[in-house]
Amino acid sequence: MSKKIVLAYSGGLDTSIIIPWLKENYGYEVIAMAADVGQGEELEPLREKAIKTGASKIYIEDVKEEFVTDFIFPTLKAGAIYEQKYLLGTSFARPLIAKRLVEIARQEGAEAISHGATGKGNDQVRFELTVKALAPDLKIIAPWREWNIRSREDAMDYAEARGIPVPVTKKRPYSMDRNLWHLSHEGGDLENPWNEPLEDLLMIITPPEKAPDKPTYIEIDFEKGIPVAINGEAQKPLDLVLYLNEVAAANGVGIADMVENRLVGMKSRGVYETPGGTVLYNAHRELEYLCLDRQTLHFKEIVAAKYAELVYDGVWYAPIREALDGFVDKTQEFVTGTVRMKLYKGNCTPAGTRSPYSLYNEEFVTFGEDQVYNQKDAEGFINLFGLPLKVRALMMHGKNKK
């Protein structure tokens, strides 16, 4: 009986050719696993395709709800954005997929797992760190680090020689990753950062210049940092994200074009479509401005940057990420309220915020007459706050005299 390996299968170019490659080079029985994280119609043909390509079995696992509640929302609460642009759509999907890979490997009695991530990218780290954290005894086979295929063109030739249909052509050579949170584009003409993305690149979001000429207003209710309702109507987590995707995409919201620092040491250029996520992050941030005190807000910004780096690097199943969740959850105890957002031709701007836990007090900040703030108090505060500067200046003045 041949030994078993479980492959993270997408039906794309790389994983399509990995099935025959694993059989030819290792003699494995290949079990494919496709995680449904919201890639839509891409999943429909996978069952037949995987078997025709040589897999003995395929699992198609619906993990969309878990993706939203256990991965997207904790990262949203943290305010984690990698290098101020990337909303981590691929990054936090990989640990979830790898977790399911491990579960199926245990169920099937497999000795190894495999993935289609290249040796140049971040995904190899994300997959493999999860396996090491959850099942350190499983072998990991990463064909891109072993085979003689060196380019996407080589991979297409390999597929053609074996009669394997792939969804990539040499005319549209982008590497794409899609889930319910985003769609990423890399490769092709995007590899030159001077090139503006081609007009037909976007597949989800309406180009801002073609978006409606009238703005769309939308109200989002949060409870303890989690979005729970749209325009006053309670929504399940998955439904909420999908609805916001539709509305934001129609208004051209959520395009990020960036050159990012990969974990493996190089810079890469990617274009990300994250419509609903962009609205949620902006709305959540506005509510925090209203509900968090200065010290907590500023320190949370530091935590957010670290959290984003951990997620980007694939360090999901680690004590530090779990510890940061504890801090984030504490900060979100009173992040409850409603944010009104204005969506217009690619822009996503706040149009009103309210909360029963608002720390904004109009009586204190008014430019009109008030009875609660003694402006003379500011003089003593400035004297004490500025005392170190004054002492140093006196010292320097004395030295200069000598």
Tens-place pLDDT, residues 238-275: 999 999 999 999 999 999 999 999 999 999 999 999 99
On the question of pLDDT at 120 being above 60, the answer is yes
357 annotated to bind ligand: no
Active site residue 14: yes
153 annotated to bind ligand: no
179 annotated to bind ligand: no
What's the CA gap between 177 and 185, in Å, rounded?
7
On the question of pLDDT at 168 being above 80, the answer is no
What's the CA gap between 312 and 316, in Å, rounded?
9
Both tokens of 179, joined, read: 């889930």
Identified catalytic residue from 175, 221, 321, 355? 175
* Residue 199 pLDDT level (bands cut at 50, 70, 90): confident
- CATH annotation of 178-354: 3.90.1260.10
Assess contact for 91 and 82: CB atoms under 8 A.
Answer: yes
What's the CA gap between 33 and 274, in Å, rounded?
25
| CB within 8 Å of 293: residues ≥ 6 apart | 359
What's the CA gap between 204 and 255, in Å, rounded?
10
Active site residue 36: no
CATH 3.40.50.620 residue window(s) in the chain: 4-172
pLDDT at 402: 63
CATH 3.90.1260.10 residue window(s) in the chain: 178-354
Architecture of the domain defined by 4-172: 3-Layer(aba) Sandwich (3.40)
Assess contact for 277 and 85: CB atoms under 8 A.
Answer: no
pLDDT at 74: 98
Residue at 337: amino acid letter = G
Q: Give Cα 378 distance to the centre of its chain.
A: 44
Write down the pTM of the prediction.
Answer: 0.92
13 annotated to bind ligand: yes
Vertex 125 angle, CA 122 and 126, to 5°: 85
On the question of pLDDT at 44 being above 70, the answer is yes
What's the CA gap between 303 and 224, in Å, rounded?
18
Identified catalytic residue from 94, 100, 269, 321? 94
Question: DSSP H helical segments within 117-257, as ranges?
Answer: 123-134, 152-161, 237-250
Active site residue 94: yes
35 annotated to bind ligand: yes
Return mean pLDDT, the chain.
94
14 annotated to bind ligand: yes
Active site residue 151: no
On the question of pLDDT at 169 being above 60, the answer is no
Identified catalytic residue from 100, 123, 221, 269? 123
